[in-house]
A and B are shown apart, each in its own frame.
Chain A
Amino acid sequence: MLSQLRTLWEIFKHSFSKSETVQYPEQMPYLAPRYRGRIVLTRDPDGEERCVACNLCAAVCPVDCIALQKDTRDDGTWYPEFFRINFSRCIMCGMCEEACPTYAIQLTPDFEMCEYDRQNMVYEKEHLLINGVGKYPDYNFYRVSGLKTASKDKGEAHNETPPIDTKSLLP
């Protein structure tokens, strides 16, 4: 009897507390920038695609919903010929973002991805690629890696010495 009265009292008390319910979609909730929603492919500060098609995101994806094929640009840099995410399978776990060595793949706070047709949940590169750097404004993989690219010669990457002259006789 006492227990039932206490329950009634507890519920009555809630009538005076502030409601947590928001009028979605009229009222949008705050989602932190690191919220794990829709996946995007970002660009480096120079405006080039960051993705180097290393396949690590695809390998780490627990639901195997990422497929891509590597291709090579004229200067030898790698990029994805196609990059496909099947969002109807994606569980927004963020492991792809964690695996990405170039900060190309990033999860965004956008979670509104409802479709009447499941086929529309399949995103190709043109749907994924954004014109921005996302959460990591400064990073450019090719400035760090020792690969020669159109914009930098051997030895011009971060923390590198100029190429060695193998014919030098100096000790």
Chain B
Amino acid sequence: MPTITIDGQTLEVKEGDNILQACLNAGLDLPYFCWHPAMGSIGSCRQCALVQYQNPSDERGRIVMGCMTQVTDGARFSLDANNAVEFREAVVESLMLNHPHDCPVCAEGGECHLQDMTVMVGHRDRRYRGKKNTHRNQYLGPLIHHEMNRCITCYRCERFYRDYAGGTDLGAQASRDRLYFGRQQDGVLESEFSGNLVEVCPTGVFTDKPFLADFSRKWDLQSAPSICGGCGVGCNIAPGERYGRLKRVHNRYHDDINGYFICDRGRFGNSYVNADQRIDYAGIQDADGRFTAVDQASALDTAGAWLKNAKIGGIGSPRASLEANFLLQTWVGADQFSSGIADIERATVDRQLQILQSTRAINPSIKQMESADAVLILGEDLTHTAARVALALRQAVRNKSLAMATQMGLPSWQDAAVRNLAQDALSPLFVVTSYASRLDDIAQRTVTLAPDDIAEFGRHLAARLQGEPAQSPLIEEFASSLAAAERPLIISGSSMLQSNIIDAGAAIAEALCLDNPQTMLSLTAPESNTVGATMLAHPNNLSLEGMVERAVELDVLVILENDVTRRLDAASMQKLVASGTKIIALDVIENATVERASMVLPAASFAESQGTLINHEGRAQRFFPVFPPAEQRLPSWQWLLQLAALNGNSQLTALTQFDQVVDACAASQPAFAHLNEVAPDRSFRDRGQKIPRQTHRYSGRTAINAGVSVHEPQQPVDHETPLAFSMEGLNRDQPSTLIPYVWSPGWNSNHALQKFQAEVDGPLKGGQSGVRVLISSADGVAPQTTTPIGAAPNDRWQLVPVHRLHGSEELSARSDEIAELAGDAFIALSAETAGQLEVAEGDRLKVIANGDSISLAVKIVDRMAAGCVGYSYGYAATRGLIAGAHADLQRDTDWRPPQPSLIATDRQSMAVDRGNPHV
């Protein structure tokens, strides 16, 4: 390890680091703008200047840029040298020449890196007498607000958007002091990761538009560590609340999973928590179909009467916490329980679990995936099914350029140099899907096949890797690339709802494992706790369809946070309602299942309750309540404990605390043995105090409730978690699972994170968070024979589910901005098929399958397998369509666009009412 001297202080630093990293690692505050731990250095802002001395007798030294200077053994530097201090102040002063004096009305104020750095260098008085440049702003869609005047031209936005996330529609324009960052013209940002611009931009050029409409300063937000429920990846998030409303979601650093970035579904898909359709009170359905709101006690009274000596069934949910699912299963008994996953999906996720429990391949974290040097994707449009994984793959394909850089002796953080050296050289990424995927632009080869043929292709590839002759030159190309790789990665998943594709993926990984133990196999999971619900499943469990059959024998059916109408066809749903069994539905928001329930119990959302979710790699992670449940809501686990107590369930009556539920769940099966290590229990104290959810600057405590009563209520007490609804306590040195927000003296922006990291861009000081509960026996995957669905006959089409980041997931689609981006349900065709059917983009097609006819808008995609058409998965309009089913398509000539209920000017004024003016 090289030793360097900074201002007389001798430091041991990491080989190959730059001085900026070394300084930050040593806890020294060296200001910077353009450098980002995940994106490296380009030396464009000139802010991290310090003095380097040539030799021990050099007194003057010369100014170097910290981020561009590699550490060398014995080097001598000074941060405090006068010329360095003056230089840094002068840089901020010149960056501020055109800054618009609008911090009070800037959503970045209070968590602004530019503010922090300005204070850090000591710049205060403006000396420049000239005029300020100004810029016009652009409309960038419902998610991102643009205020270009604030720009300091650090290039971070472009480097993130284009270089890191592969976007094409945002970049630098014009020259010299006219530099402009935006789109060619106004329009919605295309990238699925555009929300990260909010955190990447060191100032307020890109701000969170929904948050801006309902704004609070960072110091006023009450935050808690949470886990995103948007998909199976389980990114760590930090939601912030004030005045009982979930205001915004920020990325929460997890070294192995999401790092610094999350997708737009995760960031903007949570405002359903504030929706008017949230269920506030328990409701009992009357004979006329209307619900009467009742309080908790009378709801429980009624439920108690229903449950007395009743035969009870339960439907769990892959989006509810592990604990809630466990409680329901334990209460009603495994024989009367269904995990709430429809058969077609259960077949794939069950198989997925079997594979991950036995595979010899590594089940990688996202960080491990970033190290892959050859990737094969089977049947997944990852950007829409596991977006964060897709972002990681965009980094993985750069491994070739990093290898080239290493050969040249170029450090990997020399971002511009590495990219210049590599040009278009990318590590091989192969995409085998039924339709165009968002990763096609970085793929070495894309193959378009019908779902069955993907599996067939995979099997041939596996056979070739086991030594059999290749069936085609394409398979030879794939096989030789994968076999030559040091860390090949195979990714598949359940999005096509076909287990034979997953099997094929597993077979390829197993074949590669024979020669290469570094082979990785990752399988995406559809929902936040699909893996948890599947692991919890008991062999005696009913299928969801089986539960519908059983319903007539039951007196009461408890449905836990599950809109089963999304999973069952209309006939099954009819049958379930007609069975006469009383349905008690617990859910967070009104939906079609809740409407059909005899009793509705208001469940707390992820932001008001705690629980454990198991992500696609089998990592159990805990989310914590950000604020106490409002109105009559209760966390599902509490409702279930109370219901079970009414029913006199002896196993559950002893449980009252969440930690006890976790312990009981941990004892239920060996795989969950370490469940209570996922997060510290409620007795955890840091220096005798709980971890505060509020910042030490949290304002208005004696005025928030004064409008109701001047007599201040006691702060809500959190009996269940190690966190407190308070500003008392310390937010430092705690386990990583319990970091509600990042802040450090002098570092108000999210760059305070480096004070929580053990080293720059490294793991958190508080250790690893989350526990891997899915551990493979490494016995190898037992092959399974699955019957192919079979291609559609010539005159019919096979339906393929097309996933959309915005729209396919149930809860995020209930957020206004996501719903706007999701648009209408569609049927995706190749240009060829469209020509054959004589339709163009935007025309309507009648899709006739299973006797139903649905009219959908036509969307033309770049690739679509022959004989297949895609339907937008998870949209209300396409609920009746089944993956793999055969359908007839007819041009819908009767369809007329619905009359607009608003005229355009109304729509504009509505947008303004929502506080989203574009100026």
List residues of chain B with CB within 8 A of the CB of A77.
105
Contact present for B213 and A72 (CB under 8 Å):
yes
CA distance A54 to B700 in the complex (A): 13
Binary interface profile of B, 197-219, with partner A (CB < 8 Å = 1, else 0)? 00000000000000011011101
Residue of A nearest to B918 (CB): A76
**Pair B217/A59 contact, Cβ less than 8 Å:** yes
B701 within 8 A of A: yes
Is B704 an interface residue, CB under 8 A from the partner?
Answer: yes
Assess the B104–A56 pair: CB atoms within 8 A: yes
Q: Does B631 contact A (CB under 8 A)?
A: no
Identify the closest chain B residue to A145 (Cβ).
Answer: B102
Tell yes or no: A118 within 8 A of B by CB.
yes
Interface bits A106-132 vs B (CB < 8 Å: 1, else 0): 000000000000110110100000000
A93 near B: Cβ within 8 Å? no
- Contact A163 B702, CB 8 Å, known A52-B105, A122-B707: no
Asked if B702 contacts A63 (CB within 8 A), the reply is: yes
Report B-chain residues with C-beta under 8 Å of the C-beta of A59.
110, 217, 219-220, 697, 699
**Given A64-B702, A86-B703, CB of A144 within 8 Å of CB of B917:** no
Whether B919 pairs with A119 at a CB distance below 8 angstroms is: no
Assess whether B524 is interfacial by the CB under 8 Å rule.
no
Q: How far is the CA of A64 from the CA of B711 in the complex (A)?
A: 14
Residues from chain A with Cβ under 8 Å of B180 in the complex: 164, 166
A101 to chain B, nearest CB (A): 5
Do A154 and B703 touch across chains, with their CB atoms under 8 A apart? no
A139 within 8 A of B: no
- CA–CA, A160 and B98, complex, Å: 9
Cβ-defined contact, B220 with A55, below 8 A: yes
CB-CB < 8 A to A65: which residues of B? Answer: 700, 702-703, 706
Given A63, A64, A147, A155, which contacts B102 in the complex, CB threshold below 8 Å? A147
With contact pairs A67-B706, A89-B702, A155-B134 given, residues A166 and B104 touching in the complex (Cβ less than 8 Å): no
Contacts of A66 in B (CB 8 A): 699-700, 703
B699 touches A64 (CB 8 A): yes
**A19 interface hit (Cβ, 8 Å):** no
Q: In the complex, which of the residues B147, B174, B217, B912 contacts A55, with contact meaning CB atoms closer than 8 Å?
A: B217
Interface membership of chain A positions 144-155, coded 1 if the CB is closer than 8 angstroms to chain B and 0 otherwise: 111111000011
Assign chain A's interface to a size class: 35 or more
- Which residues of A lie under 8 Å from residue B220 when comparing CB positions? 55, 58-59
| Chain A residue at minimal CB-CB distance from B102 | A145
Contacts of B149 in A (CB 8 A): 146-147, 154
C-alpha spacing A58/B218, complex, angstroms: 13
- Determine if A168 and B101 form an interchain contact, defined as CB atoms under 8 angstroms apart: no
Q: Among B103, B702, B709, B919, point to the contact of A75 (Cβ < 8 A).
A: B919
Q: Are A86 and B702 in contact (CB under 8 A)?
A: yes
- A159 within 8 Å of B by Cβ? yes
In contact, A54 and B243 (Cβ under 8 angstroms): no
CB-based A-B contact count at 8 angstroms: 152
Q: Within 8 Å of chain B (Cβ to Cβ): is A78?
A: yes
Partner pick for B105 among A86, A89, A147, CB 8 A cutoff:
A147
CB of A12, distance to nearest CB on chain B (Å):
50
The answer, yes or no, to whether B173 is at the interface (CB within 8 Å) is yes
Residues on the B chain within 8 Å of A136, using CB: none
Closest to B215 in A: A70
Highest count of chain A CB atoms <10 Å: which of B101, B174, B711, B909 = B101
A35 vs B505: C-alpha distance when bound (angstroms):
77
Determine whether A162 belongs to the interface, using a CB cutoff of 8 Å to chain B. Answer: yes
Question: Is residue A102 contacting chain B, with contact meaning CB distance below 8 A?
Answer: yes
Contact B912 A74 (CB under 8 A): yes
Q: Which residue of A lies closest to B699 (CB)?
A: A58
Across the interface, which residues of B come within 8 angstroms of A149, CB to CB? 919
Interchain CB contact under 8 A, A124 and B104: no
CB-CB under 8 A from B580, the residues of chain A are none
A69 interface residue (CB < 8 Å to B): yes
Bound Cα distance from A68 to B706, whole angstroms? 12
Fill in one digit per residue for B888-919: 1 if any A CB lies within 8 Å of its CB, else 0: 00000000000000000000010010011101
Q: In the complex, which residues 111-134 of chain B have their Cβ closer than 8 Å to any Cβ of chain A?
A: 131-134
Distance of A71 Cα from B105 Cα, bound (Å): 11
Chain A residues positioned under 8 Å from B917 (CB to CB) = 72, 74-76
Q: Which residues B149-164 have CB closer than 8 A to chain A? A: 149
A39 within 8 Å of B (CB atoms) = no
B109, CB-defined interface residue at 8 Å? yes
Given contacts A55-B217, A59-B219, contact A145 B134 (CB under 8 A): no
Which A residues are CB-close (under 8 A) to B919? 75-76, 147-149
Q: List 7 A-B contacts (CB under 8 A).
A: A65-B702, A66-B700, A74-B909, A122-B703, A145-B100, A145-B102, A154-B135
Knowing that A65-B702, A82-B707, A118-B710 touch, tell me 4 more A-B residue pairs with CB under 8 angstroms.
A63-B702, A72-B917, A122-B710, A168-B178
User: Which B residues contact A (CB, under 8 angstroms)?
Assistant: 100-105, 109-110, 131-137, 147, 149, 173-174, 178, 180, 212-213, 215-217, 219-220, 243, 697-704, 706-707, 709-711, 909, 912, 915-917, 919
- List residues of chain A with CB under 8 Å of any chain B CB: 52-56, 58-59, 61, 63-72, 74-78, 82, 84-86, 88-89, 101-102, 118-119, 121-122, 124, 141, 144-149, 154-155, 157, 159-168
